[in-house]
Amino acid sequence: MKKVLSIALVSATALAAITATSKTAQAAVSLDSNHVQVEAGDTYKSIAANNGVTIAELEQANGREIGGFDLIFPGDVVTIPGVTNTQATQQTQTDTQVQETSYQAPAQETTTQETTQTQSASQAQTTTSTTGTSQGSFKISFYDPAVLGSNMGYGGVAANLSVFPKGTTLKITLSDGTVLIRTVNDTGTFAYSNPRQLDVAMPNNQIPSYGVTTASVEVL
């Protein structure tokens, strides 16, 4: 009688296991990144497939015989092994690509620095073109060539030719800030007695009321 009962108990257990595995597989409840709780209908095969691991890896992580009969019940907690070697390799390749992409930044920074330096050089050249060699302060007087019967125009200035030879272009900044650009094209008796005086050509109606002033002079 006992033998009959034992056989019946084993048969009932096997039948329950077969019935459980024959049900439609459901996703086990995830407890955390490495553990799931078995639901009705779950098998090692379905849990392994849902978590991207092999059945053998799942069996090994839970201390079961690889290839054995994996009997589980609802409520059991199954340990999910870490990422596979393939996943780790893919992650490493992704990290490497991100690092290589990020490394392009210094090249962009270098290009920006070179552009800034080029712009600064251009600005310096522009400044130099309007700034000459300083000659210090000079006494400035004015005259109208037309009144004297000359047709030399108003773009010139009379100077001591030993100081500024004919053809020298001067930047004359008056004490009130007015800037005049004149080319030496004449001289006069005043220049020999006072070599640091310039006589600027200007229409009579534009000559400043003060008549004589001082100015800083640069050679362009």
Strand order in the sheet with 77-79: 29-32, 35-37, 77-79
Does residue 179 form part of some domain?
Answer: yes
Does residue 47 form part of some domain?
Answer: yes
Give pTM, 2 decimals.
0.41
Does residue 33 form part of some domain?
Answer: yes
How many domains are there within the chain? 2
d(CA 71, CA 173): 102
The parent domain of residue 165 ranges over 132-219
Q: At 151, which CATH number?
A: 2.40.40.10
Q: Pick the most confident of 2-11, 30-39, 163-172.
A: 163-172
Q: How confident is the model at residue 180 (pLDDT cuts 50, 70, 90)?
A: very high
d(CA 114, CA 174): 39
Mean per-residue pLDDT for 119-123? 50
> Integer distance in angstroms from the first to the last C-alpha of the chain?
128
Q: Is the dihedral of CA 164, 166, 168, 171 positive or negative?
A: positive
Does residue 116 form part of some domain?
Answer: no
One-letter amino acid of 206: Q
Query: What are the pLDDT digits (tens) for 88-109?
Result: 455 556 665 656 555 554 555 5
Does residue 137 form part of some domain?
Answer: yes
